[in-house]
Amino acid sequence: MDWRLTPATSRVAHVSMRGQVEGVAFTEGEALRIAVPLADLLRHPGGARVRQLWLGEGFTVVDRDRGHAFGFAARDGYCGWLPEADLAEGAPPTHWVASVGTHLYREPRVQAALAAVPMGAQLCVVGQSGKYAETAQGFVPASHLRALGDWLVDPVAVAEGFLGTPYLWGGNSRAGLDCSGLVQGAHLACGIPFAGDADLQESVGVEVEGDLRRGDLLFWKGHVALVVDAARLIHANGHTMSVAYEGIEACIARVLAAEGLPVRSRRRLV
């Protein structure tokens, strides 16, 4: 079983795993939310980052160990460990951050910034003060928010908003992105469920037989890019160490020459 999608430790498993694992206790889990602006999801307690989760996102805790909680993200079922301090109970969110990023403010004024918050973060708006929305965590510019369910419409346009963002393995924010983080975030912002890693994303849609068009996905082993138009793609890549445009044919030739990797599939959502 793929550990990324297997909500079980050696001691405890989520009830969805009944009949698939043995010798463990089963639990419904504890539904909590991310309590920090950006949380690193870890492979092991204190281990390497595998993805990042956004403020207000749902996370179901299955097990706890050494100050960390194991569980899975509501967005895509991705499993891993978080510091327990990154989780809390919280009111159901009403809005999400629809700009490439925003800030929380202690007071409804520009001089009172508390923390940067990434696109996709979910907040419960309880009031309004001028141009700021009031939440339990602080104030946020209301123009940066949309109601949950009020999604953007073009994943490529969302990705283009992150041009120049530095490359970061496992990153899911304007502070740093990897290839699959960019593609997942762009689709989630448009209300399209999407897996977290390139190999998991490769099963979406159908194989493209003819000409590529905007929004199609190109996959290499361990890499994914979004087609912008007939000539260009956009991707978070280790070549420029950033989110950047690249010519499709030039990119295919470069990766083949440098790494010996051909395009593995060309996918289109339907």
Question: Does residue 270 carry a pLDDT above 90?
Answer: no
For domain 155-268, give the fold: endopeptidase fold (from Nostoc punctiforme) (3.90.1720)
Position 126 scores a pLDDT of 97
Q: Is 209 exposed, middle or buried (0-12, 13-18, 19+ CB in 10 A)?
A: exposed
Each residue's pLDDT tens digit, 24-78: 999 999 999 999 999 999 999 999 999 999 999 999 999 999 999 999 999 999 9
Based on its alpha-carbon atoms, the radius of gyration of the chain, rounded to whole angstroms, reads 19
Assess whether the region 3-88 and the region 95-147 belong to the same CATH fold: yes
Domain ranges of the chain: 3-88, 95-147, 155-268
Position 178 scores a pLDDT of 98
Measured CA to CA, the distance from residue 99 to residue 76 in angstroms comes to: 21
Extract the tokens encoding 256. Answer: 């083949």
Extract the tokens encoding 116. Answer: 């940067």
Q: For residue 160, give the nearest of 182, 179, 143, 145 by alpha carbon.
A: 182
Each residue's pLDDT tens digit, 185-241: 999 999 999 999 999 999 999 999 999 999 999 999 999 999 999 999 999 999 999
Is the Cβ–Cβ distance between 223 and 235 less than 8 Å? Answer: yes
In this structure, the chain runs to a length of 270
Measured CA to CA, the distance from residue 125 to residue 96 in angstroms comes to: 10
Compute the average pLDDT of residues 152-171.
98
What would the CATH number be for the domain defined by 95-147?
A: 2.30.30
- At 72, give phi and psi (nearest 5°): -140, 150
For domain 3-88, give the fold: SH3 type barrels. (2.30.30)
Position 266 scores a pLDDT of 98
Please, what is the average pLDDT of the chain?
A: 97
